[in-house]
Structure formats: structure tokens, C-alpha cells
A and B are shown apart, each in its own frame.
Chain A
Amino acid sequence: MLPAARTTLLAALDAGWADPRRLYAEGRAARALLDQAREVLAHGLGARPGEVSFLPSGPAALRAGLEGLRYAGRRRGARLVATAVEHSAILTTGRYHAAAAQDPSLFAEVPVDPLGRVDLSALQQAVLGPGTVLAAVQSANGEIGTRQPLQGAHALCRSHDVPLLVDAMASLGRDATPEHFDVMAGDARSWGGPSGLGVLVVPERTRWRRPGPVSEVEHGRTDVEPMVALALSAAEAWQQTQANHVDQSASSFALVRRLRAAVGDLRDVDVVGDPDDRLPHVLTFSLLYVDGEALVIELDRRGFAVGSGSACTSSTLEPSHVLAAMGVLTHGNVRVTLPLNTIAPTIDEDVSRFIAELPDAVAAVRAHLGASDL
């Protein structure tokens, strides 16, 4: 979280504590702050304030986006289409609906190429399936960084009159704000805001309706009142992130390029994702004969916090569905996400130290498995 977002959060706890629906002075003050936060974020997302709702998290917003499109399209059918590398909030919901109706054709997962990019002709085929009520395509994959062809996806969805649901959680604040969508979801954490705040954008032109009883909260798109301080802190973080967005992206992009080259020099490595058409700040690679959990712990011991999509690091013991869909190595997987420069002012030196120490860390973990000379 950005320092300025933290300061705003603390101040807003004092100034915006009241219930924004109340008519007394404190309530009206809280309402004014909430409106202000919504205006800032709506402007940033290219939307009107009435089109933006705050939900408890990005995944909650994404799922609400899906359910509202599905419900609005219920007279056309109930078939959902998503790329195989979508967020699990989409995939588990799609599989759930298909299983509940005992009809596998109600959820189609569209394959991706070895870089993790959706195949548009396969997407078109899937969207042509009778009764399709939405297609879900992320702006970019947060695990591997590859951008998705949103413009093409939106054009083909439009030509078949199928609304496009865009998960922008990985992009917002770090990459260009998506323009091609019918419903979009994001999470304040991606742009340096607090956790506990998702945004759902439903443009007026989109047919969307929340299933269940009518709600008065957040333009009727949730029944959970947002915390005013979180919304204000998220708006502050957005303004900060946008102010130096271009420099930030360029510097992250260059650092990841350096990392990609250095990691690619290691023995037996799959460097994953598109090298160019990608998010600026994410790098993923998989190392042969390496236990992902052991490597994460070894890097943590050396002061680096990295993620992993390997099966041994997940609670389910299943490897990352993204790596599996791409057909890349799933074991020995490491995901490096670069923080914003404001949060990590020594990022250049940190990356240099990572590059210097990674070969030793990998060698130690391989030696432990007796795999040094395979």
C-alpha cells in the first residue's frame, strides 16, 4: 500500500466514520467523501460515477459482474465462456453452474497458446455456442504477465451480441486502463490501495442485473456497504499511481527485461509468458529439477518474497491452472512481482542482488534433491 494511501486511510477513519445514508452532518460528510472517491476512480476508469460500484474485493466484483450478466441474459441461455487462464473466481463459478445444471456445455474454457494468450478463433467458436450469455477475458494475466487481445475479443463478442466481462485486476494502475469491455472488475491493491476494496464498472449500455432482491447499496450492484475510508484511500492511491504511471511502467519494464535475460541464462529454465506484449512488472519462470516450495523458502531466507505456481506450494497440491493451460513446466516455479517504486525505492539494487543470488539459491535446492548434474 502506498504511504499516501495509508495516511488517507487513517485520516478518513476520523472524517468519514459515519453511515453515508444518514441525514445528519456526519453522515452527509461521509457521503461527500464516498462520492468524491467514486468520482476520482470513475474518471480514471473512463466511466461515469453511476457506473462504478465498490465491492469488498476484486474477486467479489468479478464474480458479481459474472452473475449480473448471466442473470440479465437468462432468457437467451446460461452458457458461459472464459479463457482457460482466467481468475479462479471465474473458473470455479463457471464450473459450479455447469455442474449444478448437470450440463457440461454450459461452461466453455477457451485454450491459450504457449505464451498464455487466448486464441481468438477458438474464442469465436466458443462464443458461437447456442445460449452464450457472456465471455470472460482478463486484460492481462497477473501470474505470467501476458496481455490478452481485448480489442479483438470485444469486436468478435460484439458481432455475436455477447457481452465481454473483463478482469482488469492485474493491469489497473500498472498498465494502460482497458477500454474494451462491457463489464470490468478491479482491485484497489493492484494500484497501491488498501485491501478490502474492489471496483465493478457496469456501463449504462450494458444489460446487467443482480440476481436476488433489489438492493439500495452501490447502485444496486451489491448488498455490502463499502467502508468510506477504504474507498477514499483507494482514490488517493489511484491519483498517486497515475501521476507517475508512465515512468513507473518504463522502469518496471526495463527491470523485468534485465531479470528475464539473467534468468534465461540459468540452466534448464522455462521463462514463461510474452517477452514484450506483457505487464511491465511481472516475471515468471520454472526451473527443471527444482522443488518450488524449497526455492521459495531459500529465496525468503535471502530476503526475497516471491510467489510460486507449483503444486507443492498450493493448498490443493494441484499446479497452477495457468501454467498447466500453457503447457509449460509447473514445478520449480517462481513468480516475481515488482512493487511500485514509491513503496520500494531501492528496487534497482534489490533486482541486482536477486540476479546475483538466484544461481546459488537454485544450485542449493537442486543439490538437495541430488539433481545437480542431470
Chain B
Amino acid sequence: MNPIEIDARGLRCPLPVIRLAEAARAAPAGAWIVVLASDPAARYDIPAWCRMRDHALHEITEVSDSSGSAGPPGESDPPPYLRFVVQIRPQRSKAGGAGSGSERSSRAR
């Protein structure tokens, strides 16, 4: 199965996580989602979302893609971004689900 790809580059927090959550809601359990994001908060917030929603984060890679630009390296390069690979796990029931705050605070003790 091909992974679902979400290009959230240029979107500011919390939009990359919202796009990911929308895709995750529609995706079957076990599906793979690749997210591209350039917002600095995504580096922390996508792993936090995976933890809160009990999905698996497999990979974070930093991409600085200068291969496509014709001119000299520097100003014309597209800005660097992060690539996240997430696998969707089956969701538990909504009530007292994986993201509930009380569970987090009890886990924090």
C-alpha cells in the first residue's frame, strides 16, 4: 500500500498536525502517512501528537532539497523541511481514549 502523503510545508502550527489528524481519521488502521512540514513547531508537535493519539512515529528526516534549483546554491534554494513517517494504529473507543488528558497526567507521575 502506498503511503498517504501530506505536504504541509509553509503551514504554521497547529495546521500541520490538523492536516495529519484529518488524514489519520480517514485512513485505515496500519496505513502509512508521510508528512512534510517546514514549521519549526512540527519537529516537536508531530511526535507529541503520535504519543497522545498512540500512533507510531517511525522516522524524522531533515531535507534540504537543493538538487532541483538551476542557479548557484544559496538564495534560490527552497527552505529546508522535515519529513515524518507515521503509521496509524487502531483507535481505541472515544470515551477515555488515548488522547485524554487525565491519562497523560497519570502517566506523568
Contacts and interface: CB of A to CB of B under 8 A. Distances in A.
Contacts of B45: 319, 329-331
Contacts of A247: none
Nearest to A285: B101
Interface in A307-331: 310-312, 317-319, 323-324, 327-331
A172 to B, nearest CB: 26
B101 A328 contact: no
B67 interface: no
A332 B52 CA distance: 14
A76 interface: no
B18 A271 contact: no
Contacts of A14: none
Given A270-B101, A310-B41, A328-B48, A374 B14 contact: no
A101 interface: no
Interface string A340-374: 00000000000000000000000000000111001
B39 interface: yes
Interface residues of B, number: 27
A74 B99 CA distance: 50
Contacts of A22: none
B101 A329 contact: no
Contact of B108 (A266, A275, A331): A275
A264 B22 CA distance: 24
Contacts of B25: 374
Given A329-B52, A369-B14, A319 B101 contact: no
A285 B13 CA distance: 16
A339 interface: no
B17 A271 contact: no
A102 to B, nearest CB: 22
Contact of A291 (B14, B99, B100, B109): B14
A327 B44 contact: yes
Nearest to B39: A311
Most chain A beta-carbon contacts within 10 A, residue among B15, B17, B25, B41: B41
Contacts of B47: 327
Interface string B73-96: 000000000000000000000000
Contacts of A275: 105, 108-109
Contacts of B40: 311, 317-319
A263 interface: yes
6 contacts: A265-B102, A289-B14, A311-B41, A319-B13, A323-B44, A374-B22
Interface of A: 114-115, 260, 263-271, 274-275, 285-286, 288-292, 310-312, 317-319, 323-324, 327-332, 369-371, 374
